[in-house]
A and B are shown apart, each in its own frame.
Chain A
């Protein structure tokens, strides 16, 4: 018996290989480099890997192959666009992480113990967050590129497992942070079990693990429909959990609130891109033939998600929780792009993901600046009158909020307009009506925050706005510029997306 060695297209896999390689090197650095040098070395490895990986993505532009790594990885226009977006978002997330004061001096020490006090006194810094983030970035790049059920599941876990740990690394309010990690882990593992069970039944239905094989099996239709239905339902539960759609959204506010803010910024922005990338590919490529079975369900989920996100956000008294509910509402808007099931929907989703990612990153980066003596202040009541103390922070935060609300001249408006147009043209009118109505509800609480910051007098003078470090400053300015630029001059990027938005099967 002879074995033929599988041919791996290293060229097509290079963007991911660079990141995973850097992650492994970062683990070694963690063990062997002296404590003093570790943080700068880790940061330069991470940023270097991202730049190198982005260069590879750029080199691959225009390629499309569905056969990389023995048919398990796709490299095509949407994948490269999403990988590029994830890399840019991760670059700025690393800059936020580089201000290490958000992370526990020693995550294993019991909160309030002598051990922890000692670690704080000697100014100890643990830098395990860098390799963890790199692994998560690698998983996020693989998730939308996966072409079969094995790769999908492995990528899902590679992106999730580091995030569970990162959620628990906060320096302040450590009990909250650990609780966030526990909730995220238990619910995340629960949903990935559903995902796997669904994958098993889709495999049972099609007799093939590749997405195109599932598509072919649905088109020819000899399989057992019960297997297909069980498979689609369970797989969707796993995916909808990751994107934070109702009724699987319960983890989002708790985790966003408890996790260290740079980590929240990273996972809010980049996980959404990765998870929607995979969802779009699964629904467009593998399950489009069975759309009459899943469309009504996903429509209901999308409408519920928009309404839950927008309505509950009104009652939030915490900035991070409010942004979390806003991200749930945006998951609903993005699901309309999945429902459109045409090229317009794909284009609109890609644009929406990129613009939403930057706006979210910038908004959470700003949250790290508003503080008092005990750390970040996320209570909205204490943000009252922020414009009096720091007009620039209040102004930029307002830009982000207006973009979330979808006010013209911001990226959010173009995103919403294109995605609702695509959904409307494909005949999903109900979901568009619900989307516009819940946008109006959502605009109410975004504007309420702006009014609070600008037109209400501060009651107590306890909140300060710290002078941002160079890294944070850069992140916030770039995010603000992108948010405005995509809103005022969207044409170049929309044209670029239009030329590459075709899934190769």
Chain B
């Protein structure tokens, strides 16, 4: 199959994630959308590795997975803390600053 199709898929996934971050309210869902964007980038890396005929893109995909896992740890720590003190994970409620 033509590898370009995977790039289209990657772009679509990335756009879904990017739009999701902007329109969703729950911090967890926003965070899931960010993970979707990272994985879309991963798909693009692997596709380009196939197209360019070298392995660097596949190596980066592994690095990205590790980094994404670290980001989950940090992100959930922050979101859980804010949920425990406010009983809400909505990003609209977090508006004490900027007043």
Contacts and interface: CB of A to CB of B under 8 A. Distances in A.
Q: Say if A and B assemble together.
A: yes
Interface of A: 107-108, 110-111, 149-150, 153-154, 157, 161, 164-165, 168, 174-176, 178-183, 185-186, 189-190, 193-194, 196-197, 199-201, 203-204, 207-209, 253-254, 257-258
Contact of B45 (A175, A179, A200, A257): A200
A189 B75 contact: yes
B60 A203 contact: yes
Nearest to A207: B52
B58 to A, nearest CB: 11
Task: Say what secondary structure dominates the interface of chain B.
Answer: helix
Q: Report, as a range, how many residues of chain B touch the other chain.
A: 35 or more
Nearest to A193: B37
Contacts of B10: 200
Given A186-B27, A200-B48, A193 B38 contact: yes
Contacts of A179: 82, 94-97
Contacts of A181: 78, 81-82
Nearest to B66: A154
Interface of B: 7, 10, 14, 17-18, 21, 27, 30-31, 34, 37-38, 40-42, 44-45, 47-48, 51-54, 56-57, 59-60, 63-64, 67, 70-71, 74-75, 77-79, 81-82, 84-86, 91, 94-98
A157 B38 CA distance: 13
A108 B38 contact: no
Task: Say what secondary structure dominates the interface of chain A.
Answer: helix
A149 B45 CA distance: 11
Contacts of A161: 70-71, 74
Given A164-B74, A178-B81, A193 B96 contact: no
B48 A203 contact: yes
B12 to A, nearest CB: 12
Contacts of B56: 150, 203, 208-209
Contacts of A108: 81
A389 B14 CA distance: 56
B91 to A, nearest CB: 7
Contact of A178 (B60, B75, B85): B85
A204 B44 contact: yes
Given A182-B27, A185-B74, A204-B48, A197 B40 contact: yes
B49 to A, nearest CB: 8
Contact of A189 (B31, B59, B94, B97): B31
30 contacts: A150-B59, A157-B70, A157-B71, A164-B78, A165-B77, A176-B96, A179-B82, A179-B94, A179-B96, A181-B78, A182-B82, A182-B94, A185-B78, A186-B21, A186-B91, A193-B18, A194-B18, A194-B37, A196-B64, A197-B37, A200-B10, A200-B41, A200-B57, A203-B45, A203-B56, A207-B48, A207-B52, A207-B54, A208-B56, A257-B97
